[in-house]
A = this chain, B = another copy of it.
Amino acid sequence: MNTRKTIAVMTGGGDAPGLNAVIRAIVKQGVTQLGWRVIGLEDSFDGLLESPMRFIDFDRDQVRGILTMGGTILGTTNHGDPFTFKTADGKTTDRSGEVMERLKLLGVEGLIAIGGDGSMAICSRLMRDHGLPVVGVPKTIDNDIPGTEITFGFDTAAAFATEAVDRLHATAEAHERVMVLEVMGRHAGHLALASGLGGGADVILIPEIPFRWEPVLGKLMRRRAHKRHFSIVVVAEGASPHGGAILQRINPGGSRSLGGIGEHVADEIARRTGLETRCTVLGHLQRGGTPTPHDRVLASRMGHHAVELVRTGAWGQMVAVRQNRMESVDLAWLLTQTSRQLPLDDDGIATARSIGICFGDETE
């Protein structure tokens, strides 16, 4: 009989660079140092609901070399929420009871769930309705999960988006063009601000600040008048004109990218100013890649803190960074919150304005 303490770990939702570093830290501390059994659920809860069940009974060798790998060795879900499991015939069914049974069969005492707000909601419900002890680790490239100042993956995505701005600079300058770059951020402009400020953009459009066309076009025309024959506009997915509805994209970042806000902004600029304008949508490239050293360290620290929460029995908590310290927030509280947006008095926004970057809400 196995008498070791047994916990499960899963990754849910879209992937983010650093997921494997979290898993590695959990396994290294859990298995090697504390002597626990750590079971990795494959494809979120999907693998658990198949027959045979798919999971990894981790030994320390299975996390060798994954610190620098993007993606997640555990995979993420296709079927989504087990409470509303999508079946082959297109219907949904509640399989949350089965999830609990199978976790029990594996002797799982608690779950570390690494995911976004969707995963946190599912796991909170498993805790509330079925009594599953859960600890959460926040994951979002948009950096908009409430309660934590930063999440892993953001620095990597921001670094890539900034590199994209750098690249567009060269080609915009050579051709006297306006280059529009659409980056992630449906509800928050963290990524657009970081890459626009770090790459030296001229205009940054973010969900927190509904923009008007006049200041944007004015900025572009003034640059033209001052013989700056190119401009860079960074647009967050969720940016929208003042008073306008947010544009819908059928598959975000996906094959039907028509109608995205980036294309819309590029079309309007070209139409209203006559300037040659091009749009680039970064899409899935932002999710992939080797995590930056910054994100590897942050993800490792978060994985370690998750184990500490399990070890001290602090179930129902999500790891959170506050004032650069590892703390935690209550999952129940978290689910009452909306996306963490940039505060309008953010000093990054003030810095950008002081450098002359336009957000589209300027008067006169």
Contacts and interface: CB of A to CB of B under 8 A. Distances in A.
Interface residues of A, number: 93
A147 interface: no
Interface stretch (A97-105, A118-126, A166-174, A207-215): A166-174
Given A255-B278, A323-B323, A307 B175 contact: no
A130 to B, nearest CB: 27
Contacts of A278: 251, 253-255, 283-284
Interface string A142-172: 0000000100000100111111101111110
Interface stretch (A197-205, A241-249, A329-337): A197-205
Copies of this protein chain in the complex:
4
A219 interface: no
A69 B68 CA distance: 11
B284 A255 contact: no
A79 to B, nearest CB: 11
A32 B267 CA distance: 30
Contacts of A37: none
Contacts of A167: 70, 160, 284-285, 287-289
A261 interface: no
23 contacts: A11-B174, A28-B356, A33-B354, A70-B169, A70-B170, A71-B169, A75-B229, A158-B293, A161-B293, A167-B284, A167-B285, A168-B285, A171-B287, A198-B293, A198-B300, A199-B296, A257-B257, A257-B263, A258-B258, A280-B285, A301-B347, A304-B354, A324-B324
